[in-house]
């Protein structure tokens, strides 16, 4: 991992948007175009690591730090700050390859091994220190305790550094097997080294750190990368162009509009610049300026599904849901992306036209069938069920949403309400029963802890 390991994560909503569980430290940024790009960019690396691409996801979280991590399962979490800081796609590939090394090495699972060894040293020092104190050697006892804690920390840090070095070499192996240059990996470690210089971190010894110093990593990896056949292999220009797009829209979405407009001034008429400014103007509540930027994008590529999605989003969130439906429909037809489909369902419901609710239900059910981990889609489907008077299924949709958000008490209440009106033994009843069982257990566990 680039810096820190374990973070709580959450699922999110349609289009480029945020959602986090209340206890989560970060928010996931869900975006159809970004997720499609990440899958295509990382696919060869995932295969090189011996994993199935469809089972591994690279997701972006809203955090300005230059960082990435894994935290269990086959997920790589990349900070928005890392993408914004990356000069090219190859640098991001180097980071992802490193994180895949942690997954393949089972480092999250083995984290407990390092903790167990360190804890054992700590406990032993406590016993010996207590014995020395009991024998009248208070000063000696305290010394033993202090040395024990220091030894335990040193043991754990050495374990952590070993895992990082292992992931570095594994990532280099995946890049080589996938035919991807390691130049980006070295360039990114150089960025981290420059940060270390700015923070005045001593460069002579990595003892006392969870990670080897970037200079040490560069020295080792340079010898591996420069002799690799893929060293001088250029990046795919189409993928690089897609990276510039998602980087620009991400900057436009997470940055202050004034910062975005400084980075992408009006004089810049490139596709990424139009993308970034569209989000900046939309965030600033200037829908006409945002739509002008989107229209500039569509004049260059009239049937680009992600430009159509953005137009639909701006129109919908500017209070024009009926106008948002045609571009969103076309975007769904072109991509079949569940996140965009959820946005279309939202637009159909927002018209408050009874004639649109049947289509909204169909669109949302199809979206959930392909991506169940979307609480906003469940919320919108619940609205549809409530509109037609199907209160039990509205309650079930609400239970699904609360369950994903970690609100166990609300999930339990909604699941119980759903079971009151659903026919026992049906698929929906059994699903409500499952949610109730899991949520009740979670609620009881929280009570015991209190």
Ranges 178-187, 203-212, 226-235: which has the least confidence: 203-212
Q: Which residues contact 372 (CB under 8 A, 6 or more apart)?
A: 400
pLDDT of residue 71: 78
Contact of 355 with 388, CB cutoff 8 Å: no
- Give Cα 217 distance to the centre of its chain: 25
Between the CA of residue 139 and those of 129, 135, 143, 144, 150, what are the distances in Å?
9, 11, 6, 9, 17
Mean pLDDT calculated for residue range 323-338: 96
pLDDT of residue 195: 73
pLDDT of residue 207: 41
DSSP string, 378-435: HHHHHHHHHHTT-HHHHHHHHHHHHHHTT-HHHHHHHHHHHHHHSPTTSHHHHHHHHH
Q: Report yes or no on 137 lying in a domain.
A: yes
Helices (H) and strands (E) in the chain, counts: 19, 5
pLDDT of residue 122: 42
Q: Report yes or no on 419 lying in a domain.
A: yes
Compute the distance between CA of residue 323 and CA of residue 349 in angstroms, rounded to an integer: 13
pLDDT of residue 101: 87
pLDDT of residue 361: 97
For all residues of the chain together, what is the average pLDDT?
82
Give 120's DSSP letter.
H
For residue range 284-306, list pLDDT tens digits in order.
999 999 999 999 999 999 999 99
pLDDT at 436 over 90: yes
pLDDT of residue 166: 79
Q: Report yes or no on 124 lying in a domain.
A: yes
Ranges 26-40, 233-247, 398-412: which has the least confidence: 26-40
Ranges 203-207, 276-280, 346-350, 420-424: which has the least confidence: 203-207
The residue ranking higher by pLDDT, 110 or 387, is 387
pLDDT of residue 26: 58
Q: How many CB atoms sit inside 10 A of residue 27's CB?
A: 20
pLDDT at 15 over 60: no
pLDDT winner (highest mean) among 22-36, 94-108, 210-224, 378-392: 378-392
Q: How many CB atoms sit inside 10 A of residue 426's CB?
A: 10
Q: Report yes or no on 163 lying in a domain.
A: yes
pLDDT at 265 over 50: yes
Q: Report yes or no on 164 lying in a domain.
A: yes
Compute the distance between CA of residue 68 and CA of residue 33 in angstroms, rounded to an integer: 20
Domain that holds residue 416: 390-450
Between the CA of residue 34 and those of 56, 59, 242, 256, what are the distances in Å?
15, 8, 9, 20
The residue ranking higher by pLDDT, 198 or 254, is 254
Q: Report yes or no on 434 lying in a domain.
A: yes
pLDDT of residue 197: 61
Q: For residue 396, what are its two tokens?
A: 């079930």
The residue ranking higher by pLDDT, 330 or 193, is 330
The helix or strand, by DSSP H or E, that contains position 78, with its residue range, turns out to be strand 75-79
pLDDT at 59 over 80: yes
Mean pLDDT calculated for residue range 384-397: 96
Say what percent of the chain tops pLDDT 90.
60
The residue ranking higher by pLDDT, 386 or 21, is 386
Ranges 96-110, 250-264, 429-443: which has the least confidence: 96-110
Burial of 143 (0-12, 13-18, 19+ CB in 10 A): middle
Between the CA of residue 57 and those of 10, 39, 73, 170, 377, what are the distances in Å?
14, 7, 10, 18, 20
pLDDT at 203 over 60: no
pLDDT of residue 158: 46
Compute the distance between CA of residue 29 and CA of residue 82 in angstroms, rounded to an integer: 13
The helix or strand, by DSSP H or E, that contains position 68, with its residue range, turns out to be strand 68-69
Contact of 264 with 245, CB cutoff 8 Å: no
For the chain, what's the residue count? 450
Between the CA of residue 351 and those of 317, 320, 324, 357, what are the distances in Å?
12, 8, 10, 9
Ranges 62-71, 94-103, 110-119, 164-173: which has the least confidence: 110-119
pLDDT band at residue 202, thresholds of 50, 70 and 90?
A: low
Compute the distance between CA of residue 54 and CA of residue 35 in angstroms, rounded to an integer: 12
pLDDT of residue 189: 83
Token pair 């948002």: residue: 324
Sheet strands side by side (includes 68-69)? 17-19, 28-30, 57-61, 75-79, 68-69
Q: For residue 285, what are its two tokens?
A: 């509540």
Closest C-alpha to 4, from 211, 159, 153: 211
59 in helix, strand or coil? strand
Q: Report yes or no on 446 lying in a domain.
A: yes
The residue ranking higher by pLDDT, 317 or 3, is 317
Mean pLDDT calculated for residue range 3-8: 31
pLDDT of residue 16: 52
Q: For residue 251, what are its two tokens?
A: 């900057």
What is the total count of domains within the chain?
2
Q: Report yes or no on 336 lying in a domain.
A: no
Contact of 7 with 391, CB cutoff 8 Å: no
Compute the distance between CA of residue 288 and CA of residue 282 in angstroms, rounded to an integer: 9
């Amino acid at each position: 991992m680039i810096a820190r390991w374990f973070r709580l994560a959450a699922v999110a909503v349609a289009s480029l948007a945020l959602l986090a569980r209340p206890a989560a430290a970060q928010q996931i940024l869900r975006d159809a175009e970004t997720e499609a790009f990440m899958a295509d960019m990382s696919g060869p690396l995932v295969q090189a690591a011996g994993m199935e691409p469809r089972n591994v996801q690279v997701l972006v979280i809203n955090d300005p730090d230059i960082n990435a991590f894994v935290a269990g399962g086959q997920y790589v979490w990349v900070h928005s700050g890392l993408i914004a800081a990356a000069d090219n796609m190859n640098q991001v590939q180097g980071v992802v390859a490193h994180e895949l090394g942690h997954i393949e090495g089972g480092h999250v699972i083995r984290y407990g091994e390092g903790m167990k060894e360190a804890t054992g040293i700590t406990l032993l020092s406590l016993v010996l220190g207590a014995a020395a104190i009991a024998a009248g050697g208070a000063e000696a006892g305290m010394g033993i305790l202090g040395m024990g804690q220091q030894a335990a920390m040193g043991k754990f840090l050495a374990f952590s550094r070993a895992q990082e070095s292992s992931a570095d070499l594994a990532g280099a192996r995946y890049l080589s097997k996938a035919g991807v240059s390691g130049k980006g990996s070295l360039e990114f470690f150089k960025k981290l080294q420059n940060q270390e210089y700015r923070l005045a971190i001593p460069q002579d010894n990595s003892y006392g750190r969870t990670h080897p110093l970037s200079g040490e990593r560069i020295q080792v990896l340079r010898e591996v990368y420069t002799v690799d056949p893929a060293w001088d292999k250029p990046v795919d220009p189409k993928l690089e162009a897609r990276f510039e797009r998602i980087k620009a829209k991400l900057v436009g979405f997470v940055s202050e509009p004034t910062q975005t407009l400084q980075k992408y001034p009006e004089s810049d008429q490139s596709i990424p610049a139009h993308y970034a400014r569209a989000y900046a103007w939309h965030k600033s509540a200037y829908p006409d300026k945002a739509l002008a930027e989107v229209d500039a994008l569509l004049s260059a590529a009239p049937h680009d599904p992600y430009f159509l999605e953005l137009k639909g989003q701006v129109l919908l969130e500017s209070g024009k849901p009926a106008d948002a439906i045609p571009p969103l429909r076309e975007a769904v037809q072109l991509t079949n992306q569940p996140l965009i489909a959820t946005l279309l369902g939202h637009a159909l419901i927002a018209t408050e036209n009874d004639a649109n609710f049947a289509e909204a239900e169909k669109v949302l059910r199809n979206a959930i069938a392909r991506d169940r981990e979307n609480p906003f889609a469940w919320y919108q489907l619940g609205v549809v069920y409530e509109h037609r008077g199907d209160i039990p299924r509205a309650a079930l949709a609400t239970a699904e949403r609360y369950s994903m958000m970690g609100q166990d008490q609300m999930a339990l209440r909604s699941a119980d309400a759903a079971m009151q009106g659903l026919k026992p033994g049906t698929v929906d009843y059994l699903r409500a029963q499952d949610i109730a069982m899991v949520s009740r257990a979670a609620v009881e566990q929280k009570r015991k802890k209190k």
